[in-house]
Amino acid sequence: MQCNKISQFLKSALSAALLSAVLGLGCEKVLTSAPDDGDLLDAPLPGLSSELQIMFNQGDEAFEETFTVEMGLGPIFNHASCGGCHPGDGRGPEGVTFSRFTEPGGNPLTNGEPQLQHFAIPGVTAEVLPAGALVSRRTAPPVFGVGLIESIPEATILANADPGDADGDGISGRPNMITAADFVSATEVGGGPGLHVGRFGLKANNPSLIEQSVGAYLEDMGITSDFAPEEIVHPLGNGVSIGDNVPDPEIPASTVQQTVMYIRLLAPPARGPITSQVQQGEGIFGSIGCAKCHTPTMKTGPHVIPQLSNVDVNLYSDLLLHDMGPTLADNRPDKQATGTEWKTRPLWGLRLVSEFLGGQAFYLHDSRATTLSEAITLHGGEAQVPKDAFVGLSDSDKQALIAFLNSL
């Protein structure tokens, strides 16, 4: 749009005083340009066929669908849409936390479900934490690049596991081995009989992308599907879900599958500029031991989607569980994960975190850290040695390491 056209629009939309102030900035100060594709968290993998692009677009609509009471929202829920918890398909804001809880000692709850749904539809009382429950606060992780993560062969992930620390380096990553839900077909990654490598969730507690999505619809939004047709039992409902009169299932399997295909085709953001300082920081990242858990690259196996087939995945994670020490412990077991273990968080997209959280960055599983330096110094357990090495770096080396992380 040309500057004179903008002026004409502003004249019709703004008061005289505000108009004068805005036009005084000059056209170049008013206009904004669209971000590059590499700076987006909701862009598709490049070069999709027209058929896959249509699937991506259909799934995007399903992902952004905002559910209402008339559509089956609730009766208890955390948000009304997938995009509500994953703004721009990135991580959730600091205020979006899901409290997962157990009774003291890690025993399953006898009242209510293990996730706190802190909102409710009109006429229904939202859940409250049971007295004495052990709480694990979680911030929704980003969903970009999960198709690439899904396409990494189990053997590749298991090759990095060292549960007994056989090499004596203090790093003993291990997989969270999970039995998939009955509705997950053996044709799906992580589906079928037997144990499968967990790769989704903050504690790698889910082996299947479709099971992860079905659980999000049900637990986060209270939306039943053909895969999970029964409502979450409201703890005040005496075994019967109350306040939601929409017939179940509320969405068909096709809607879930559209959402799954959408996030499967989401591209991770591009790497930022690689300066000499960034290169220096990358060397430090490796030399102090960060890369032992934050594995820079793994490779996908053969896949029917060319963009997911035999490509390098620069996620900076081994997707394994590691003991992170008492400071980050939530003391809540999750499948085979203990109360001190977490899946290594992928680092790709770090440079864009604040761009999608209102200018304020939050890090770690519960958003407690507001700087990367703080996030690093909260590490412990298997990461104690790299953390101590970081603390002992010179200021210039610390700045170089942070510059490297902010390039990812």
pLDDT surpassing 80 at residue 130: no
| Lowest-confidence pick of 6-15, 174-183, 338-347 | 6-15
Kindly list the distances between the CA atom of residue 333 and the CA atoms of 45, 163, 218, 239, 321, in Å, as whole numbers in the listed order: 35, 17, 21, 26, 12
Distances (CA, A) of 221 to 80, 150, 210, 327: 6, 24, 16, 31
Residue matched to tokens 């997950």: 184
Q: What is the pLDDT of residue 13?
A: 39
What is the rounded distance in angstroms from the CA atom of residue 82 to the CA atom of residue 262? 12
Name the H helices within 135-221.
146-150, 154-158, 209-215, 221
Question: In this predicted model, what pLDDT tens digit does every residue of 228-250 receive, in sequence order?
Answer: 999 887 655 444 556 688 999 99
pLDDT tens track for 99-108: 887 777 666 6
- Could you tell me which residues come within 8 angstroms of residue 253 by beta carbon, excluding any fewer than 6 positions away? 225, 226, 227
The answer to whether residue 167 scores a pLDDT higher than 90 is yes
Q: Which helix (H) or strand (E) holds 403?
A: helix 395-405
Q: Flag whether pLDDT at 113 surpasses 50.
A: yes
Residue 166 has pLDDT above 50, yes or no: yes
Instruction: List the helix and strand counts (H, then E) for the chain.
Output: 14, 10
Amino acid identity at 305 = I
User: Whole-angstrom Cα distance, residue 256 to residue 267?
Assistant: 19
Lowest mean pLDDT among 88-92, 125-129, 399-403: 88-92
pTM of the model: 0.88
Is pLDDT above 70 for 11? no
Q: In this predicted model, what pLDDT tens digit does every residue of 292-329 receive, in sequence order?
A: 999 999 999 999 999 999 999 999 999 999 999 999 99
Q: Mean pLDDT, to the nearest integer, of 16-24?
A: 42
DSSP-derived letter for residue 188 is S
Q: What is the pLDDT of residue 18?
A: 39
Between 139 and 196, residue with greater pLDDT: 196
User: How far is it, in rounded angstroms, from Cα 308 to Cα 148?
Assistant: 6
95 confidence band (pLDDT: 50, 70, 90): low
The percentage of the chain sitting over the pLDDT mark of 70, rounded to a whole number, equals 83
Please report which residue ranges of 231-352 form alpha helices under DSSP H: 253-264, 276-287
Longest dimension (CA), the chain: 73
Residue 33 in this model has a pLDDT that exceeds 90: no
Place of tokens 């109360």: 339
The pLDDT, as a whole number, for residue 393 is 98
Give residue 69's pLDDT.
94
